[in-house]
Amino acid sequence: METQVAFQDQIPHNHCFGCGPNNAQGLQIKSYWQDDCTSICNFSALPHHSAGPKGYLNGGIISTLIDCHAICTSIADCYRENNQHIGEGPVHWCVTGELNVRYLAPAPIATPVQLIAKVTETSGKKRIIECKLYSVDQHDRTLCATASVVAIKVPESWLESSSRIE
């Protein structure tokens, strides 16, 4: 995994709050293929990512991590399906159509989280990605959230039209 370049560092023009390398104030997550089926993302939160009690990770941040890891996995899967390296040749974009998150246990903010995603269904423009978020310390791994994300492929022209709204 260490020798891989993160999906986000290959996907161009990305200013997304969760996953855009071009967003200095963003979370700047990094996702990689773990094996043929699953992708992985490790993230360490900052104190201002807290929920009400300052010891726990905010639920919206959890959803953003899941959203972005899943959508970037979907984009990477589009490139893979077309035998392309990410960011080379025809561009593939996906957006979030649906994001269903189930929060199972609070995630301590000082403990790194790990996200594992898997594309479970592909039909036409639509991909379904199942994602799990764990709190991971040296001794233990606690499942804190599970999610199902619907990613919809959109045409390259979206980039041009979204760039006009600045």
Ligand X SMILES: CCCCC/C=C\C/C=C\C/C=C\C/C=C\CCCC(=O)SCCNC(=O)CCNC(=O)[C@H](O)C(C)(C)COP(=O)(O)OP(=O)(O)OC[C@H]1O[C@@H](n2cnc3c(N)ncnc32)[C@H](O)[C@@H]1OP(=O)(O)O
Considering the rule CB under 6 A, would residue 68 count as an interface residue with ligand X? yes
Q: In what order do the strands lie in the sheet with 113-123?
A: 31-33, 38-43, 113-123, 126-136, 141-154, 93-103
- By CB under 6 A, the count of residues binding ligand X is 25
Tell me the residue number closest to ligand X, measured at CB: 97
Q: Which of 106, 99, 100 is nearest to 144 (CA)?
A: 106
* Contact set for ligand X, span 120-139 (CB under 6 A): 123-126
**Residue 97 engages ligand X in binding (rule: CB under 6 A):** yes
Whether 64 and 131 have beta carbons less than 8 Å apart is answered as no
Q: Among 56, 79, 93, 134, which residue interacts with ligand X (rule: CB under 6 A)?
A: 93
Q: Checking phi first, is residue 19 left (phi over 0); if not, alpha (psi -120 to 50) or beta?
A: alpha
- 87 counts as binding ligand X under rule CB under 6 A: no
**Residue ranges in contact with ligand X by CB under 6 A:** 11, 13-14, 16, 19, 67-68, 71-72, 75, 93, 95-98, 123-126, 150, 152, 154, 158-159, 162
